[in-house]
Amino acid sequence: SGELMDLIRREGQRMTAAQPSETTVGNMVRRVLKVIREEYGRLHGRSEESDQQESLHKLLTSGGLSEDFSTPYPPLRANVIEAINELLIELEGTTDNIAMQALEHIHSNEVIMTIGYSRTVEAFLKEAARKRKFQVIVAECAPFCQGHEMAVRLSKENIETTVMSDAAIFAVMSRVNKVIIGTKTILANGALIAVSGTHTLALAAKHHSTPLIVCAPMFKLSPQFLNEEDSFHKFVSPQEVLPFTEGEILAKINIHCPVFDYVPPELITLFISNIGGNAPSYIYRLMSELYHPDDYEL
Amino acid sequence: CLADLIETFRAQLRDDPDVASAVAAIRVLLGFLKQDRGETIQGLRSSLLAAIETLSGVDSSVAVLSGGELFLRFISLTSLEYSDYSKCKEIMIERGEIFLRKVSLSRNKIAKLCHPFIRDGARILTHAYSRVVLRVLEAAVESKKRFSVYVTESQPDQAGQKMAKALRKLNIPVTVILDAAVGYIMEKVDLVLVGAEGVVESGGIINKIGTNQIAVCAKAQNKPFYVVAESFKFVRLYPLNQQDVPDKFKYKADTLKTNQNLTEEHPWIDYTSPSLITLLFTDLGVLTPSAVSDELIKLYL
């Protein structure tokens, strides 16, 4: 199984190098590697209680250095395939699992704010709308204005929706009860990489002490930190910001169109994922359950 | 026999100034274990407790205490697995050697984890003399990064000057600043990187006096405050404020023995609360302050 893991790791490195901002690819590779380690450990006869992580306890009690994965076991392949199928089933059910928690968090006559378009948040709000009546304010999230699509979909379910520009976020925040957003990635310290404009929303919510709830499935949790590579910075064509028809000005100015924003963990109140609600300070624990520390660097 | 212990400890610290005092303490205790003539676990425990007391009499820092407690815990865990005393002792000695070997690699592990957080062109502020921070900065230089460092002078022993000298040897541009100038320099700095003498259960740290001030200034100006510490420095204390830190750590061992009135003495360490710390880099990985207590619980419960 050591060879299998090396193969998977190599493929994972190639895929993540191709598009570094799509962190879920790397996350899934790490999950599969953890599955393989677990199945190997189970067959190797190690008890399931034993901690795979580095810990002070392990430093003191282990008899030798870490194991190698060279012993072949015929049933390993079938076990791994079964475990991966379970993983697939879990992934398919994530949006429903998150939506099922909607009723605990949304109450009648509340004003909810969100930004841009997130399928998870859409399902979350739709599920709550079946039993409760509330209003939603959607920030349009320029320059792609995906907020418009979100508003159309929500209003089809008879939810009272208002669209407003990003500049009005702070002005309206005093009337909002909760902010619910989706995200692209959750980092290891509990921070977010989310769509551009989310940091503004988070700061406004903090200023008014409005709870900020992030709905995101566990496969978005990535064991990386914000550091020198800054590979999450993705810039697209500035055509959206200033179209090419404005030819004369283009030579004299620099235009950027970043896609993502970094939101620090202090601004977030709660993470709602397919395994339940958690505080940002608890993220390190969820990470140790999903991934093995040797796999953090693919 | 206890007097020899003190001599061996002093010799260890003298011959190898690069080794952490907790590691030296554990090495000395392992040697003590090898020579012990007792026949029972209880006897072993009580003689070890006496040995740790004497070692704290030489060097009263938190690190010696954490090293000692870790060793005691190590003994208890091993003795639970094997009931036969002589077999148990063999296993303990073997595991002790493995532990010491692993621990000597911990600084390199930390350096590998930490240096990606230092960007090209960064300005770093550090406090007093820390061998772990030195190792991290060395690793950053090896990966061809350019950065500059501000070191606080760190009175009363001017440890900052020692740090500056070591950094100049690595060709890093260094500026020594007054302890009082931290608030002034904070706006120019990109990140703060300090070592720790002890990491407490809440995720806070105990370090040379002045660290708390730097952490408060960093928080006020939104600069990240990073701590680098090896995992054997984790200690089972939970101070809620500066007064909760026991006096035996605040003052040097000689002062405690000679002086009865401690209100006239200046403390050598202070406590920095976890809310001021951004991340801790340890050989167990990069931890948020809330993850520290989890690690301690895994060991002690």
Question: Domain spanning B2-104: which superfamily?
Answer: Translation initiation factor eIF-2B, N-terminal domain (1.20.120.1070)
Do A228 and B116 count as a contact with CB atoms less than 8 A apart?
A: yes
Would you state the pLDDT for residue A63? 47
Choose between A67 and A18: higher pLDDT: A18
The CA distance from B89 to B87, in Å, is: 5
Residue A260 is assigned to a structural domain of this protein: yes
Please give the pLDDT value at position B168.
Answer: 94
Q: Residue A65's pLDDT band (boundaries 50, 70, 90)?
A: very low
Measure CB to CB from residue B288 to each of A56, A57, A281 and give the nearest one.
A281
d(CA A280, CA A218): 13
Q: Angle at the Cα of B195 (from B190 to B201), degrees rounded to 5?
A: 110
Domain boundaries, chain B: 2-104, 110-300
Closest chain B residue to A284 measured between Cα atoms? Answer: B291
How far is B61 from B40, CA to CA, in rounded Å?
30
Q: Would A16 be classed as within a structural domain? A: no
- Among A82-91, A193-202, B26-35, B121-130, the range scoring the smallest mean pLDDT is B26-35
The domain spanning residue A105 has which CATH number? 3.40.50.10470
Please tell me the predicted confidence (pLDDT) of residue B175. Answer: 95
* Minimal CA separation from B113 to chain A, in Å: 10
A228 and B74 within 8 Å at the Cβ level: the answer is no
A128-156 confidence digits (pLDDT tens): 999 999 999 999 988 888 999 999 999 99
State the Cα torsion B11-B17-B22-B23 to the nearest 10°. -80
The yes-or-no verdict on residue A57 having pLDDT over 80 is no
- Strand bridging mode A135-139 / B191-194: unpaired
Element (H, E) at B199: strand B198-199
**Helix pair angle (B2-15, B41-58), 10° resolution:** 50
Three-state SS for B188? helix
Report the alpha-carbon distance of residue B161 to residue B97 in Å, rounded. 35
The minimum CA-CA distance between A53 and chain B, rounded to whole Å, is 9
Residue percentage of chain A with pLDDT more than 90: 47
> Looking at residue A232, what is its pLDDT?
66
| Paired tokens of A199 | 């940091």
What residues of A are in contact with residue B298 (Cβ under 8 Å)? 51, 55-57
Number of domains chain A contains: 1
Sequence-ordered list of residues with C-beta below 8 angstroms from that of A187, at least 6 positions apart, any chain: A193, A222, A224, A225, A226
Residue A89 lies in a domain: no
Question: Is it the case that residue A66 has pLDDT exceeding 60?
Answer: no
Query: What DSSP assignment string belongs to B108-164?
Result: HHHHHHHGGGS-TTEEEEEES--HHHHHHHHHHHHTT--EEEEEE--TTTTHHHHHH
Give the β-pairing of B191-194 and B225-228. Answer: parallel
Nearest CA-CA distance, residue A54 and chain B, Å: 6
**Which structural domain, as residue segments, surrounds residue A132?**
95-289
CA B165 from centroid of its chain's CA atoms:
21
**Chain B neighbors of A296, CB-CB under 8 A:** 285
Per-residue pLDDT band at A269 (split at 50, 70, 90): very high
**What is the ipTM metric for this complex?**
0.82
- Is residue A1 predicted with pLDDT exceeding 80? no
Contacts of A30 (CB under 8 A, 6+ apart): A12, A223, A290, A291, A292, A295, A296, A298
Is pLDDT above 60 for A48? no
Q: Does the pLDDT of residue A4 top 80, yes or no?
A: yes
Burial of B240 (0-12, 13-18, 19+ CB in 10 A): exposed
Distance CA A275, CA A295 (A): 22
Asked if residue A199 lies in contact with residue A263, where contact means CB atoms within 8 angstroms, the answer is: yes
Name every chain B residue with its beta carbon within 8 A of the beta carbon of A61.
74, 77-78, 95
Average pLDDT, chain A: 86
Whether the Cβ atoms of residue A274 and residue A99 lie closer than 8 Å to each other: no
- Report if residue A119 sits inside a domain: yes
pLDDT band, very low/low/confident/very high, at A228 (cuts 50, 70, 90): low
| 3-class SS of residue A183 | coil
Does A184 map to a domain? yes
Alpha carbon of residue B129 to chain centroid? 12
Q: What pLDDT is stored for residue A250 in this prediction?
A: 80
In a domain, A183, yes or no: yes
* Residue in A61, A231, A286, A294 to test binding to B, most B beta-carbons within 10 Å: A61
Q: Is the CB of B234 less than 8 angstroms away from the CB of A56?
A: yes
Size of interface A-B (CB pairs under 8 A): 71
Per-residue pLDDT reduced to its tens digit, A99-115: 999 999 999 999 999 99
For residue A61, pLDDT beyond 80: no
Between CA B279 and CA A10 the distance in angstroms is 30
Instruction: Flag if A55 and B74 touch (Cβ within 8 Å).
Output: no
- Residues linked to residue A274 through DSSP beta bridges, in sequence order: none
pTM: 0.88
Residue of B nearest to A53 (CA): B284
Taking an 8 Å cut-off on Cβ atoms, the answer to whether A57 and B78 are in contact is: no
| Residue A154 Cα distances to A50, A51, A136, A216, B50, angstroms | 47, 45, 9, 19, 71
pLDDT of residue A170 exceeding 90:
yes
The tally of CA atoms less than 13 A away on the side-chain side of residue B168 is: 10
Could you tell me if residue A46 is inside a domain? Answer: no
Q: Identify the CATH assignment for B110-300 out of 3.40.50.10470, 1.10.375.10, 2.60.40.10, 3.10.180.10.
A: 3.40.50.10470
Query: Two tokens at B138?
Result: 């060395």
Cβ–Cβ < 8 Å for B149, A257: no
Q: Is the pLDDT score of A64 beyond 50?
A: no
Answer for the pair A226, A162: CB distance below 8 angstroms, yes or no.
no
pLDDT < 70 positions in chain B: 301
**Are B73 and A60 a contacting pair at CB < 8 A?**
yes
